[in-house]
Amino acid sequence: MARVFVTGSADGLGLLAARSLVGSGHEVVLHARNPTRAEDTRKRLPAARGVVVGDLASLAQTRGVAEQANRLGPYDAIIHNAGVGYQEPRTQTEDGLPRVFEVNVLSFYVLTALVQRPKRLVYLSSGMHHGADASLEDMDWRKRRWRGAAAYAESKLCDVLLAFAVARHWPTVFSNAVDPGWVPTRMGGPSAPDHIEDGYRTQVWLAASDDPAALVSGEHFYHLRPKEPDPATRDIERQEKLLEICRRFSGVALDPAS
C-alpha cells in the first residue's frame, strides 16, 4: 500500500486519480481550495485519509497546505495535479503574480520544497507546452500584453522543467511529468477527443505501480508511454533558471542535496 498526496483533487482528474488509488487499496490525502470544497470532497471520497485545505494562488496558504500535508505524511508519492486553464483572464494574486503562474508552477515548486520528500513525484503538464516561449523572461507578465493560452502553455513547459530539475537534484526520487491529453473535464470541455480514463491512468501508474517502466525519473509520459517533451525542457541551464525564478518569487529554497 502506498500513501499518496494529490493536489487539486476536489474534482476532475485529481479526484479520479485519487478514487482509482483508493480503489486499489492505497491511502490517499486529498486537497481542496477552500473549506466548502473540502467538505464536498470528503463526501465524494469518504475513504480518503484526509483533506488539506488551501488556495494555491496564495503563498501563505500554500505554505499552510504544506504544513497540513506534512502532518498527514510522509508520502510514497505526490501528484501535482492542481491547475487553472488556458482561458484564464489576467488575474493578479495577493502576491502580485499571475494566477496561472502561481497555481500551475510556483505552488508546485513550493510544495516540492516544503513537503517531506516522497519516493515519487508526478507533475501534470500538457501537450500545449510544445512550442511555448521557453525564454523564462517576464514570467509575471508585467511587460507583455496578456494572452491566457500563452501563459498556460508557458506554465506547463515550466512544470516539465521543474520535474526534470528535481530529477537531477534528487536522484533518489522518481520525478516525472505527465501530459494527460485533451480529456473532457471542466477545463478540457465536453468535446475533448481523448478518453477520460486516459487522463488519470498515467499519473496513478507513476505514483503507485511496481512496473519497471514506471520506476524511472526525468521522463515525460503520455498515456502510459514515454513521449519526448519540448527540447527546451532538457536544457539544464533553463531548469536552473526556473528554480531561481521560483526561489525569488516565493522566498523558498529547494534543497539541492541528494
Q: How many helices and strands, by DSSP H and E, does the chain display?
A: 8, 8
CB 125 within 8 A of CB 177: yes
Q: Which residue has the higher pLDDT, 189 or 126?
A: 126
Average pLDDT rounded to a whole number, residues 207-230: 97
Mean pLDDT score, 24-48 = 96
Mean pLDDT for 173-200 is 71
In angstroms, the CA 88 to CA 82 distance is: 14
- With a cut of 90, say whether residue 196 has pLDDT above it: no
For residue 156, tell me if it sits in a domain. yes
Residue 174 within a domain = yes
255 part of a folded domain: no
Please name which of 176, 192, 179 lies closest in space to residue 153, comparing C-alpha atoms.
179
What confidence tens digit (pLDDT) does each residue in 157-168 have? 999 999 999 999
201: in domain:
yes
Domain presence at residue 31:
yes
Grouping H, G, I as helix, E, B as strand and the rest as coil, residue 173 is coil
**pLDDT of res. 35:** 96
Q: How much is the average pLDDT of 45-68? A: 97
Say what the pLDDT of residue 188 is.
47
| CA dist 172 → 117, 118, 205, 217, 219 (Å) | 10, 9, 18, 9, 15
- Assign 7 a pLDDT band (cuts: 50, 70, 90): very high
| CATH code at position 29 | 3.40.50.720
pLDDT over 80 (residue 103): yes
Instruction: Report pLDDT digits (tens) over 110-154.
Output: 999 999 999 999 999 999 999 999 999 999 999 999 999 999 999
Edge-first strand listing for the sheet containing 220-222: 50-53, 27-32, 3-6, 77-80, 120-124, 174-179, 220-222, 225-226
Counted domains in the chain: 1
- The reply to whether 256 falls in a domain is no
Q: Which residues constitute the domain of residue 106?
A: 3-250
Tell if the pTM clears 0.85, that is, is over it: yes
Q: How confident is the model at residue 8 (pLDDT cuts 50, 70, 90)?
A: very high
Within a 13 Å sphere around the CA of 243, how many CA atoms are in the beta-carbon half? 22
Per-residue pLDDT, averaged over 239-258, amounts to 92
Give catalytic residues, as residue numbers.
Answer: 152, 156
In a domain, 258, yes or no: no
Residue 257 lies in a domain: no
C-alpha cell of 255? 534543497
* pLDDT score of 39 more than 70: yes
Mean pLDDT of the chain: 93
Query: What SS3 class is residue 223?
Result: coil
